[in-house]
Structure 1
Amino acid sequence: MMGERWLSQGYKIISFDLDDTLLMPNKRISKEAIEWIKQYQKKGGIVVLASGRDISTIIPYLDQLQMKKGQKGYIISSSGAYLWDLKKDTLDEFVSFSVEDAKAIIDGLLTQSNNCNPMIVCKNMNYIVKSQIYWKDKIKSFFMRCKRRQIRIIPTAMIESIKNHIEKIRVRFDESMDYNHCISNVDKAHYRLIERKHIDYFHDGIDKATALMKVLEKESISPEEVLVFGDDENDITCFENFPYTVAMGNAVSEIQGLAWRKTRSNSENGVYDFLVTNEVSV
């Protein structure tokens, strides 16, 4: 039976979520976890960093973990929108929203609140969308360009001019808003509450489990040879599709309910504690 598996039995792949999982509250990886992961890779283990972050904000952690181009390792970014194969240095892009669907979701959000400031997240640029653009928005957008920040403020009429691959649509969480209403007229769309702070809308073809299954296909590895750590709603598909999953002590209730095992919170170095206490190996 799945639950009777010895924890010390080897795992060829370990997938780590970042925020509130591998990362401690100060957004750093503990020295102990860094050293453990380095040794795991030296023994032939494959590390996957699976995050809701975009690639640019994941890259700073690669050097710490000695994850380099040319060696086995994978980055799943934007909750499954992209899969970066470090050994081959190739980037797989998964299905994205059309600009028509993006506009429908944005319109649904702005109809409920003109101040919700939804953001269209793309590969090389993010777009904050507003019903109307005022002079102060233009000034703010100008200074963001000067600082080379990859953010632009645009009116809804300009959504159709976006040519980039649309990863997701993000809006800050507000209990008064009806988030289901925004996708009632959009095929194949879903949303997740992330870090209890914002809502991310994705195309149904984008999720961490789909991207992680792609890794298994590349490596000819079965789901039973994978260990997954996570804490939030964008980890749910992995916890539903992989047998060996570990929920952080700070994880949302749905993740806790789906988990094979549980560990301490990220503030208590829960990932490292689980790996060492259970003698997890390759």
Structure 2
Amino acid sequence: MGTYKLIALDMDGTLLNEDKKISDENREAIQQATALGKTVIMSTGRGAISAMPYIEELGLNTPLVVVNGSEVWESPTKLHKRTLLATETVRNLHTLAQEHDCWWWAYSVDQGVFNRESEQLDIEGQAWLKFGFYTENPEKLQRIRGIVENWGILEITNSHPSNIELNPRGISKASGVEMVCQLLGIQMSEVIAMGDSENDITMIREAGLGVAMGNAQDEVKRIADVTTVTNEEHAVAKVIRTYMLQD
């Protein structure tokens, strides 16, 4: 049996197809892996509320990494660790979005996702996990990225070429997966990590086997150990069967 004990899966663009569904092939391979004692976890930019229906669909009771690592759950019902953005930082990011007339969104612990269309935004009254910008104007996006890079306090990634995702410095999918490894008593060398976007790079780089999706951004493909097929071609099933279920 394959030596890898855990597979960490990005969701959008990786586990999920373009209709945001889990294919029968991917579901069956995940079930085969778990039946053999392998651990399958989600490692996603989504918040826990958004990820949970898929966790339930798969019948998983394993740890999960959500909001790009700002929350690590020991199980779907037990939070292990949460790392917050400073309120002042969120206020400054919100001001930056307004100054650049840019779509923005932000994850709060208690009330989920806020965005530019939210009628009530109480920055001081919420605990914040992640902030994001979206614009199809690449020059504007680069200007914003340059400004927040100069602050030196944020982990800066994306989940799409037209967005920026911001977490506290040092918080990433890799830090989340490493924490899961500590909980389970395994090493990062025993992990497969799969993803398609910049927010997947840290875990793909640090895993024993880093897998870029066929539909991944070019930078992800450059740093991955292998590049597989696309999310429309049941890539998760292919990787599980190749690297976890083979003798």
Amino acid of the residue matched to residue 280 of structure 1?
Answer: L
- Do 1:101 and 1:186's aligned partners in 2 also have CA atoms closer than 8 Å? no
Q: How does 1:1-282 map to 2 (within 5 A)?
A: 9-68=2-61, 73-86=62-75, 89-113=77-101, 116-125=102-111, 126-128=113-115, 152-154=118-120, 158-159=122-123, 161-164=124-127, 166-173=128-135, 174-177=137-140, 178-183=143-148, 186-277=151-242, 280=245
CA–CA distance in 2 between the matches of 1:91 and 1:47?
17
How far the C-alpha of 1:153 sits from its partner, in A, is 2.6
Q: Deviations over 1:17-64 (max 9, x none)?
A: 111111111111111211111121122111110111111111111232
- Do 1:40 and 1:281's aligned partners in 2 also have CA atoms closer than 8 Å? no
Q: What are structure 1's unaligned runs of at least 5 residues?
A: 1-7, 130-136, 138-151
CA–CA distance in 1 between the matches of 2:162 and 2:232?
18
Q: Secondary structure at the match of 1:21?
A: coil
Q: Secondary structure at the match of 1:19?
A: coil
Q: Secondary structure at the match of 1:196?
A: coil
Q: Deviations over 1:152-180 (max 9, x none)?
A: 4346xx43x2232x111122133131123
Q: Deviating runs (4+, > 6 A) in structure 1? A: none
Change (3 A) 1:180 1:32: closer
**What's the Cα RMSD here?**
2.2
CA–CA distance in 2 between the matches of 1:265 and 1:104?
37
CA–CA distance in 1 between the matches of 2:19 and 2:65?
22
Match of 1:140? Answer: none
- Do 1:216 and 1:222's aligned partners in 2 also have CA atoms closer than 8 Å? yes
- Do 1:94 and 1:206's aligned partners in 2 also have CA atoms closer than 8 Å? no
Q: Secondary structure at the match of 1:67?
A: coil
CA–CA distance in 1 between the matches of 2:119 and 2:115?
5
Q: Secondary structure at the match of 1:271?
A: helix
Amino acid of the residue matched to residue 205 of structure 2?
Answer: E
Amino acid of the residue matched to residue 75 of structure 2?
Answer: L
Change (3 A) 1:58 1:281: farther
Structure 2 length-normalised TM: 0.89
- Do 1:10 and 1:280's aligned partners in 2 also have CA atoms closer than 8 Å? no
Identity within the alignment, %:
24
Q: Deviations over 1:109-153 (max 9, x none)?
A: 32222xx24222112223335xxxxxxx7xxxxxxxxxxxxxx43
Change (3 A) 1:14 1:83: same
Amino acid of the residue matched to residue 100 of structure 1?
Answer: E
CA–CA distance in 1 between the matches of 2:126 and 2:240?
43
- Do 2:105 and 2:115's aligned partners in 1 also have CA atoms closer than 8 Å? yes
- Do 2:2 and 2:246's aligned partners in 1 also have CA atoms closer than 8 Å? yes
- Do 2:69 and 2:172's aligned partners in 1 also have CA atoms closer than 8 Å? yes
Q: What are structure 2's unaligned runs of at least 5 residues?
A: none
